[in-house]
A and B are shown apart, each in its own frame.
Chain A
Amino acid sequence: MIEVNDVTKRYGETVAVDHLSFAVQPGIVTGFLGPNGAGKTTTMRMILGLDRPTSGSVTVSGRSYQDLPAPMHEVGALLEAKAMQGGRTARQHLRWIARAGGLPADRVDEVLEAVGLSEVANRKAGGFSLGMSQRLGIATALLGDPRILIFDEPVNGLDPEGIRWIRSLLQRLAAEGRTVLLSSHLMSEMEETADHILVIGRGRLIADTSIAEFMQRSSGSHVRVISPQGAELVPLLEQAGATVTVSDGALMVTGIEGPRIAAVANEHRIEIHELSPRRASLEEAFMELTRDSSDYQGGAVGTAASTHAA
């Protein structure tokens, strides 16, 4: 388990992380979300003891990372896949890391196999594509067979197949009872991977909730109704307790569910051509939540663009 207790990190005048507290539970994939510059990477670096909190404390399995006797058995991390010296082969690269963690050299070939890099094990890592580097970074994280895994934007640069592969890997790791923390600035990424999400903006915790709860809390859900007798239907639905807005010939109904709408229409013999429940996407819910905390806000369009920027 990772515990972040009232952590603040300042770089000079800039507050990167602001009184942040959360715990990451084992056995599930926890998504760590926020717009670029929200403090995700800084927080991950503090978990790994790379950066020191200005105040507050971070513990991993109850200790600070520096005090773990076998850190690679405890935590595996992928921060920046390209941050390595490219002159070494993939195998040589993993070897020095394994050696540092007191792990046997055979483990290197096991993880190369696990991430599908066995065939290029003797090629210089400097010539790897971003996708291959990401796999090498994941191999690094898996080296110590750790109980906790931390991945910073692991799908960057992966092709769709690679993305699917990483999703199933993450779920498998969590199913084995490991703690998995996965950061992303793309909400859509979390929809299919994470069980729980932590949302931060400007270094502050905005939400710490399950995916399901997060969806419900968002306000964008409605039922879309198309009917040739729309004008007759609106007052009837409002009588039934709904709020209706009309846009482009379609009715956006909130307050009552689809079956009730159908029943009302049927009762008054009103023809219906479309009746579809629309859940707000996680992306919309996320943007709504972080609208006030995005660092690079430039109006509505700008906000949308910034959450999609790589």
Chain B
Amino acid sequence: MMTTETMTTTVALTSSVETRSATFRHTLASEWLKLTTLRSTYVTLGLGVTLSIAMTALVCLAVGSTQDELPADLAPATFSLVGNLFALTISAVFGVMAVAGEYSSGMIRLTLTATPRRSRVFWAKLAVLSPIMLVFGLITTLGMFLVGQAVLGAYGLPVTDLGDPDARRTVLGIGALMPVFPLIGLALGFLLRSTAGAITSVLALLWLPVFLVEFFPMWWRTNIFSLFPGAGADSLTLSHVDDSPMYSDPAIGALIVVAWLAAFISAAYVSFSRRDA
């Protein structure tokens, strides 16, 4: 198919293009192109949105058909975000794959040959992942909220809308904080370079505190478990409507989230800049 043709071809090896310096803008465009040309990007994110909303719809249907009122301690906005466990898990894995996928295939060496300045590659990956995860987060949380309210409303259960500042803070807050775990996943991808290792680590950081907290006494819940990034994020988005020993003052919550991100991102940056590719 290509043999004889190739032997006789006399295509110019020299291009007519003049030499231009490569800039950070090019790196950004390249990283964007990488993500948008992989089908797995669409499959993963599409699955995240669908599963989250489907989970919310199912749980709301179950509650609506069996109960006359919502559990007393839950606001309808918070309740409709029950499917967020899918969005969180899938987005964290997506963050890992944005880097670990290049290490497992060896393609990272091609990336770094095209863009040898590692800081450019590093910040471009963060800069492309963050807005994608932000949009993904807002679409999922808004979708879950609207579907959830519609189902609860259909059963005559109490509902709310985004005109309510409490509901708005919860729904938009959780959506806007969606990039947190993907960014930690991305950093772990740089640090561990292994898909399995980085996914395990980020999911452990995300879910282990949630599962383990029940087995620990109150002092641990307020002083240790409150310091995990998930608890920090929840302090920002849920502490005004819900009560938990793991919640801090929202300002402290913000600080906890920022501190985790800063620690992971700076460790990943140092590792990526110094280690052999």
Closest to B25 in A: A102
| Alpha-carbon distance between A165 and B6 when the two chains are bound, in angstroms | 8
Closest Cβ–Cβ distance, residue B23 to chain A (whole Å): 7
Structural contact, A88 and B6, CB atoms closer than 8 A:
no
A29 to chain B, nearest CB (A): 15
Beta-carbon contact of B19 and A119 below 8 Å: no
Q: Are B277 and A142 in contact (CB under 8 A)?
A: no
Assuming the A-B contacts A70-B22, A83-B107, are A116 and B5 also in contact, with contact meaning beta carbons closer than 8 angstroms in the complex? Answer: yes
Q: Is the CB of A68 within 8 A of B37?
A: no
Q: Mark A22-54, 1 if CB is under 8 A from B, else 0.
A: 000000000000000000000001001111100
Closest to A73 in B: B19
Q: Are A145 and B111 in contact (CB under 8 A)?
A: no
Chain B residue with the shortest CB-CB distance to A64: B116
Are B21 and A69 in contact, CB atoms less than 8 angstroms apart? yes
Contact of A50 with B114 in the complex, beta carbons under 8 Å: no
B67 proximal to A (CB < 8 A) = no
A278 within 8 Å of B (CB atoms) = no
How far, in Å, is A25 (CB) from chain B's closest CB? 20
Which of these binds chain B: A106-114, A191-199, A225-233?
A106-114
Q: Chain A's nearest CB lies how many Å from the CB of B225?
A: 38
Q: Are B7 and A100 in contact (CB under 8 A)?
A: no
| A66 at interface, CB cutoff 8 A | yes
User: B2 to A120, Cβ gap below 8 A?
Assistant: yes
Residue in B closest to A96 when the chains form the complex, CB atoms: B33
Set B11, B102, B111, B116: member contacting A49, Cβ < 8 A: B116
Encoded as 1 (CB less than 8 Å from any A CB) or 0, chain B from 66 to 105 comes to 0000000000000000000000000000000000011001
Given contacts A50-B109, A66-B117, A71-B22, contact A116 B37 (CB under 8 A): no
Point out the residue from A86, A101, A115 that lies within 8 Å of B114, measured CB to CB.
A101
Residues on A with C-beta less than 8 A from B114 are: 71-72, 97, 100-101
Q: Provide the A60-92 mask, 1 if CB < 8 A to any CB of B, else 0.
A: 000001101111110101011011111110001
Min C-beta distance of A170 to chain B, whole Å:
11
A56 interface hit (Cβ, 8 Å): no
Interface mask (B100-125 → A, CB under 8 Å = 1, otherwise 0)? 01100111011111111110000000
Q: Does A308 contact B (CB under 8 A)?
A: no
> Range of interface residues on chain A?
35 or more
A116 to B22, CA, bound (A): 27
Cβ-neighbour of B14 out of A132, A159, A176 (below 8 A): A176
Instruction: Across the interface, name the chain B residue whose C-beta is closest to A142.
Output: B13
A99 within 8 A of B: yes
Whether B6 and A100, one on each chain, are in contact in the complex, defined by CB atoms closer than 8 angstroms, is no
Residue A249 CB within 8 A of the other chain:
no
Asked if B214 lies at the interface with its beta carbon under 8 angstroms from chain A, I say: no
Given A97-B110, A116-B2, A119-B1, 18 more pairs with CB closer than 8 A: A45-B276, A45-B277, A49-B116, A51-B276, A51-B277, A80-B106, A82-B106, A83-B110, A85-B101, A87-B38, A92-B37, A96-B37, A99-B33, A101-B22, A102-B23, A110-B11, A145-B13, A162-B3
* CB-CB nearest 3 A-B residue pairs: A83-B106, A116-B6, A100-B30
| 9 pairs from A and B in contact (CB 8 Å cutoff) | A50-B277, A73-B19, A83-B106, A87-B39, A96-B30, A101-B115, A102-B22, A107-B17, A145-B17
B interface residues, Cβ below 8 angstroms from A: 1-3, 5-7, 9, 11-15, 17, 19-23, 26-27, 29-30, 33-34, 37-40, 101-102, 105-107, 109-118, 274, 276-277
Where the two chains meet, the residues of A that have a C-beta atom closer than 8 Å to any C-beta of B are 45, 48-52, 65-66, 68-73, 75, 77, 79-80, 82-88, 92, 95-97, 99-104, 107, 110, 113-117, 119-120, 132, 135, 140, 142, 145, 159, 161-162, 164-165, 169, 172-173, 176
